[in-house]
């Protein structure tokens, strides 16, 4: 699952003007409701405003990523707003927030944690965040987000001697499996290089050694 899979142009508002944080959050909830992501927006609004007052979702780089979980929600979804003048959000750096993502998710799973972590990794790049906040249209916003995610999270093509151990420790299982599958297809091209073997799960180690045994039994 990618961020670009769960947000579309109808989930984004560009250059909005609000008096305060509560107005912006109310609009984000309304976008969720329009997409059928939530049902009782009134009850969720009360909970969200209470939550953000006691534990604000502002991070840094003038971004906030609040999360609200709904018992009636069956999936994790995302809406976003860029703000022309920004709003006060009790941010750690004291600056106004001009980009807010609101995550809604089920109380039965923790997909929202994966989504928030992935967003934060993208948005901690101040230059990218500034460009995203300055997007002139919803189409441009989605395109920038999709392109950045593609560049940031697409695994590199494995080369001989490539040490993938650090990559594996940093990313989630789905991304690891995709990366490891690409390596597995190229196993015959690899030699017994410790830096490559290090950090691989048992499945890949076994596949590697099996390929070596086959080569020994049937030398070319």
Q: pTM to 2 decimals? A: 0.70
Closest to 82 (Cα-Cα) out of 154, 145, 36: 145
Count of structural domains within the chain: 2
Contact 122, 128 (CB under 8 A): yes
- Phi, psi at 70, each rounded to 5°: -125, 130
Q: Please check whether residues 201 and 119 belong to one and the same domain.
A: no
The enclosing H or E element of 79 equals strand 77-87
**In-domain check, residue 13:** yes
Give the pLDDT confidence score for residue 156 in this predicted structure: 54
**In-domain check, residue 159:** no
Q: Please check whether residues 209 and 135 belong to one and the same domain.
A: no
CB neighbour list of residue 134: distance below 8 Å, 6 or more residues apart = 82
Range of the domain at 204: 165-217
pLDDT band at residue 195 under the 50/70/90 scheme: very low
Q: Please check whether residues 93 and 190 belong to one and the same domain.
A: no
| Residue-wise DSSP of 169-187 | HHS-HHHHHHHHHHHHHTG
- The tens digit of pLDDT for each residue in 146-169 reads 999 988 877 555 554 445 554 444
- The tens digit of pLDDT for each residue in 78-93 reads 999 999 999 999 998 8
Q: Please check whether residues 70 and 170 belong to one and the same domain.
A: no
* Res. 116: pLDDT tops 70: yes
Q: Please check whether residues 133 and 203 belong to one and the same domain.
A: no
Q: Please check whether residues 117 and 22 belong to one and the same domain.
A: yes
Q: Please check whether residues 39 and 126 belong to one and the same domain.
A: yes
**In-domain check, residue 158:** no
Give the pLDDT confidence score for residue 60 in this predicted structure: 83
Q: Please check whether residues 11 and 116 belong to one and the same domain.
A: yes
DSSP 8-state assignment for residue 60: S
- The tens digit of pLDDT for each residue in 53-77 reads 999 999 888 999 999 988 777 788 9
Cα angle, residue 34 at apex, residues 58 and 47 outer, rounded to 5°: 45
- The tens digit of pLDDT for each residue in 130-146 reads 999 999 999 999 999 99
Q: Please check whether residues 191 and 146 belong to one and the same domain.
A: no
CA distances 200 to 152, 168, 173, Å, are 22, 8, 13
Please identify which residue in the block is written with the tokens 């441009």: 140
Q: Please check whether residues 94 and 129 belong to one and the same domain.
A: yes
CATH code of 122's domain: 3.40.930.10
Q: Please check whether residues 138 and 213 belong to one and the same domain.
A: no
Residue where a domain terminates, one of 153, 177, 206: 153
Q: Please check whether residues 141 and 52 belong to one and the same domain.
A: yes
Residue where a domain terminates, one of 126, 153, 180: 153
């Amino acid at each position: 699952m990618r961020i670009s899979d769960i947000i579309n142009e109808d989930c984004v508002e560009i250059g909005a003007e609000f008096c305060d944080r509560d107005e912006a959050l109310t609009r984000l909830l309304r976008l969720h409701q329009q997409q059928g992501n939530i049902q009782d927006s009134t009850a969720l609004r009360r909970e969200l405003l209470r939550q953000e007052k006691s534990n604000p979702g502002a991070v840094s780089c003038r971004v906030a990523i609040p999360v609200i979980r709904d018992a009636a929600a069956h999936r994790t979804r995302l809406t976003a707003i860029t703000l022309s003048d920004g709003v006060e959000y009790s941010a750690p750096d004291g600056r106004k927030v001009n980009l807010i993502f609101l995550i809604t998710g089920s109380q039965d799973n923790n997909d929202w944690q994966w989504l928030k972590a992935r967003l934060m990794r993208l948005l901690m790049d101040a230059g990218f965040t500034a460009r995203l906040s300055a997007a002139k249209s919803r189409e441009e916003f989605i395109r920038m987000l999709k392109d950045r995610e593609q560049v940031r999270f697409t695994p590199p093509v494995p080369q001989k001697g490539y040490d993938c151990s650090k990559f594996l420790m940093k990313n989630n299982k789905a991304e690891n499996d995709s990366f490891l599958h690409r390596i597995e297809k190229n196993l015959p091209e690899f030699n017994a290089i410790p830096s490559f073997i290090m950090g691989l799960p048992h499945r890949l180690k076994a596949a590697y050694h099996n390929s070596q045994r086959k080569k020994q039994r049937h030398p070319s």
